[in-house]
Amino acid sequence: VEADRRSVEISRTILDKTGVPFEVLRADMNRGIERFKNQYRDQLLPQYDIVLFLGVFHHLPDKALAGAWVTYLSSLARDWFIMRP
């Protein structure tokens, strides 16, 4: 999940070359988890092998919301949840 359109395009370009299935979604995480889930309900899977949460935490000014995102996203990770604050 990324808010910046250009960063989404770059991520998709890089990941597309791996041959591994991936999903990069564009969303403003400050708007909350429920809005995100509603916006992408048709695209989200119940679980993912790996969920990356890299360099996002510090961009969320509401630390309670940031913690809620960590809880939600880590619940989607079947094998690995990787976080870099």
pLDDT in tens, 47-80: 999 998 888 888 888 999 999 999 999 999 999 9
CA distance 44 to 73: 11
Alpha carbons 43 and 67: distance in angstroms, whole number: 23
Predicted TM-score of the model (pTM): 0.81
Nearest to 31 by CA among 73, 74, 61: 61
Query: What value does the CA radius of gyration of the chain take, rounded to a whole number of Å?
Result: 13
Cβ atoms 84, 55 nearer than 8 A: yes
Local confidence band at 13 (pLDDT 50, 70, 90 cut-offs): very high
